[in-house]
């Protein structure tokens, strides 16, 4: 499996050949979108968690996206 590539200024994560757009809901929760369509949520609660809301993405891929995103935006 490929390694997710995070672009914080663009609010995107590219992984498994797909670009995921991270739309903030709060400081620790994001709607994850592909092509303008919500595919799940990324929530930071005792670590990065993914909630899949579409058959078009797997939990494994969305979890990798969430983990990479929160690692990138975590304050140093």
- pLDDT tens for 9-66 read 999 999 999 999 999 999 999 999 999 999 999 999 999 999 999 999 999 999 999 9
Evaluate if residue 76 carries a pLDDT over 60.
no
45 vs 60: CA distance, rounded Å: 17
How many structural domains does the chain have?
A: 1
pTM: 0.93
Instruction: Give me the domain span that covers residue 19.
Output: 5-73
| Per-residue confidence band for 74, with pLDDT thresholds at 50, 70 and 90 | confident
CA distances from 44 to 17, 22, 25, 35, 70 (A): 24, 13, 12, 23, 7
Evaluate if residue 75 carries a pLDDT over 90.
no
44 vs 67: CA distance, rounded Å: 9
DSSP code at position 36: T
> What residues contact 35, with CB distance under 8 A and at least 6 apart?
none
């Amino acid at each position: 499996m490929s390694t997710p590539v995070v672009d914080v200024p663009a609010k995107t994560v590219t992984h498994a050949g797909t670009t995921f757009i991270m739309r903030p809901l709060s400081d620790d929760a994001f709607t994850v979108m592909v092509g303008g369509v919500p595919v799940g949520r990324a929530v930071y609660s005792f670590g990065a968690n993914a909630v899949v809301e579409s058959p078009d993405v797997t939990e494994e891929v969305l979890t990798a996206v969430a983990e990479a995103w929160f690692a990138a935006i975590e304050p140093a």
